[in-house]
Amino acid sequence: MTKKEKYVPKPLRKKDGTLPQKHSEVVQILSELEINKTYRLSDIIATINMCLNLKSKTYQWLREASKDFVANQSYDPNLESTVLLDDLYVDMTYQRRVRLNHLMKKLKKRKGFLKAVAGFVDVAVRCRSNKSFVWDGLRRCLMVGILGGDRIGTSMYAHPAAMGDIDCRKTEAVFFEVRNAEGEGMTAEEIFKAQVASKDKVALELLDLMQECNLTVESLNPNGVSLGGFVQFQKAFKNDFYTKDSLITASEMLQEVYPNTSLSGYLLTGLSYLLEHNSTLNGQGYDEVDEDDSILAKMKDFVATGAVYKFQTLLTTKRLNGKAQECIAWNIATHVLNDGGDLTELLLTGDDTVEMENYTENAVEFESAGA
């Protein structure tokens, strides 16, 4: 039997095919690891090492932490539960993005790696390819690699022999969601990503709507426009008041008004709220067919007024607690459309209207913007 050749890690490359040289370039590569794609862990670690100059004073703490790891924290190669990092893979379809700065802060704060705290990482073996995938513990693996370690302790699970990679991925995504959603404070976007990977019916329906809106979070719709405030969009999707058409139309309008930038989930749902109410005015509201008097035309004119108007926050920052969409819609109606009629009266009533009208900071902000 021939001895297995040691794998030589291959750093990931930038989109232009060149190797990263700067810290910012490595951060960019790690933040854009693709879904529906698997990566060898040691390749990711090699990428990180491209920007770590251990000879510099900046990384003196890392040199000391690496020495401590070798002396006190490294894993025993003779234990059956210990696996080489070279032999581990990660499927980014359900994993959280790798945030290098967050990893380094953790290592620096703890002055290295604590094996007793880290325990075992969870690994699933996909029997058809015989590859081992870390479904929980990716960051611990990366920390070990950054400190110069070549192996880590694992808890192994073997998928059924007849199970294909797609079903293996789905099972691992369920494991990941159950383990992390309750224990480590995942963001709503990260939970949604895991639910999509596990083929959750509601999550897939929401993904379909996002694709129709040409939006994306966590690279789930790679060619879409990045959506901030995902939770607001998710709430609107679950709320019977909002229609699919109004959300899609609002997204299309905002992408035309604010091109080449991410979209605010607050502004999108606020505009959708306004569109829903405008549709109840029985033809007396704003007509999107009229190119000169449409909401889209007036929003374009508003943004073109001056540099400060190009910021979406101008319409989203000032709002009442618990009534974000109502107040954002009111901001659009009063400051963009200059509407003083039926539409504005539908959006807010009573004390809410008085409070927004007397919202001194809001008034000052819009007045100074027009100065």
Residue 1 lies in a domain: no
Q: Is 30 in the same domain as 81?
A: yes
Domain that holds residue 62: 23-197
Q: Is 281 in the same domain as 185?
A: no
Residue 9 lies in a domain: no
What pLDDT shows up at residue 113? 87
Task: Give dist(CA 44, CA 23) in Å, integer.
Answer: 14
Q: Is 270 in the same domain as 146?
A: no
What pLDDT shows up at residue 363? 46
Q: Is 134 in the same domain as 75?
A: yes
Distances (CA, A) of 257 to 90, 124, 209, 224: 39, 47, 20, 16
Q: Give mean pLDDT, residues 130-144.
A: 95
Residue 17 lies in a domain: no
What pLDDT shows up at residue 284? 67
Indicate if the pLDDT at residue 290 is higher than 90.
Answer: no
What pLDDT shows up at residue 371? 39
264 — phi, psi (to 5°)? Answer: -80, 125
Q: Which of 178, 197, 216 is the last residue of a domain?
A: 197
Q: Which of 229, 347, 214 is nearest to 277 (CA)?
A: 347
Q: Is 172 in the same domain as 53?
A: yes
Q: Is 52 in the same domain as 177?
A: yes
Q: Is 336 in the same domain as 209?
A: yes
Give the neighbor-by-neighbor strand order of the sheet with 88-91: 38-40, 88-91, 131-136, 121-126, 151-158, 82-84
Q: Give mean pLDDT, residues 274-280.
A: 90
Q: Which of 168, 197, 226 is the last residue of a domain?
A: 197
Q: Is 164 in the same domain as 247?
A: no
Residue 233 lies in a domain: yes
Residue 290 lies in a domain: yes
Count up the domains in the chain and report the number.
2
Indicate if the pLDDT at residue 42 is higher than 80.
Answer: yes
Please report, for the chain, how many H helices and E strands are present, in that order. 18, 9
Q: Is 144 in the same domain as 205?
A: no
Q: Is 143 in the same domain as 219?
A: no
Q: Which of 22, 25, 11 is nearest to 53 (CA)?
A: 22
**With bands split at pLDDT 50, 70 and 90, how would you rate the model's confidence at 267?**
very high
Indicate if the pLDDT at residue 157 is higher than 90.
Answer: yes
Specify the amino acid at residue 163.
Answer: M
What pLDDT shows up at residue 118? 79
Task: Give dist(CA 232, CA 323) in Å, integer.
Answer: 12
Q: Is 88 in the same domain as 188?
A: yes
What pLDDT shows up at residue 59? 87
Q: Give mean pLDDT, residues 322-343.
A: 88
Residue 12 lies in a domain: no
Question: How much of the chain exceeds pLDDT 90, in percent?
Answer: 64
Q: What is the pLDDT of residues 239-264, one digit of tens each?
A: 999 999 999 999 999 999 999 999 99
Task: Give dist(CA 220, CA 200) in Å, integer.
Answer: 14
Q: Which of 166, 182, 197 is the last residue of a domain?
A: 197
Mean of the per-residue pLDDT values of the chain? 88
Q: Which of 277, 268, 263, 267 is nearest to 249 (CA)?
A: 268
> Within 13 Å and on the Cβ side, how many CA atoms surround 339?
25
What pLDDT shows up at residue 56? 81
Question: How much of the chain exceeds pLDDT 70, in percent?
Answer: 91
Q: Is 290 in the same domain as 350?
A: yes
Q: What is the pLDDT of residues 1-36, one digit of tens each?
A: 455 678 999 999 999 999 998 999 999 999 889 998
What pLDDT shows up at residue 307? 87
* Better-predicted residue by pLDDT, 327 or 370: 327
pTM of the full structure: 0.69
Residue 291 lies in a domain: yes
What pLDDT shows up at residue 365? 54
**What CATH number does residue 106 fall under?**
3.90.1530.10
What pLDDT shows up at residue 362? 45
